Homo-oligomer: A and B are copies of this chain.
Amino acid sequence: RKGEMAKLTQLINNEVFRAYATYTAIVLLKMMLMSLITAYFRITRKAFVNPEDTDAFGKGESAKKYLRTDPDVERARRGHLNDLENIVPFVGIGLLYALSGPELSTALLHFRLFTGARIFHTFAYLIPLPQPGRGLSWAVGYAVTFSMAYNVLKTTWLL
């Protein structure tokens, strides 16, 4: 019954939906980790953007010098934004895909590839690895989301 939407009454025990929930929670937690990494670099590199954030270093000119950009902070922020740009489509399209009745093995392949690619992407961005490491991992995640969107539109198309 490929291509037929799964009965939502069975969603509770639906393994595809459970798999979706597991991998979505993992990639969203991974995205949230970027906040901690950015904060870590801001504190260790003493590079802040809000004047009220440097008050702990003293008032006035002595603290003002910490209002600056730092390459490591900016790199973590770019990784975070790239996560937002790619994980948001995965979460939205993935939910519709999980409800469109795919085979468990096919769905798991999609979810695992995406999650693995995004975790690799983070390492490739932060270390950083030489290209095309980061570019390829981005492309894998992109292709997986595109494939899920194709399956959603094939099943639900109603303009």
> A46 at interface (Cβ–Cβ under 8 A)?
no
Q: Is the CB of B131 within 8 A of A56?
A: yes
Copies of this chain, complex-wide, total 3
Nearest B residue (CB) for A77: B81
CA distance A45 to B156 in the complex (A): 39
> A61 at interface (Cβ–Cβ under 8 A)?
no
**Chain B neighbourhood of A100, CB < 8 A:** 21
Question: Number of contacting residues on A, CB 8 A?
Answer: 62
Known contacts A50-B75, A153-B25; A158 and B19 CB within 8 A of each other: yes
CA distance A131 to B52 in the complex (A): 6
Q: Is the CB of B78 within 8 A of A49?
A: yes
Known contacts A5-B12, A22-B159, A78-B49; A93 and B152 CB within 8 A of each other: no
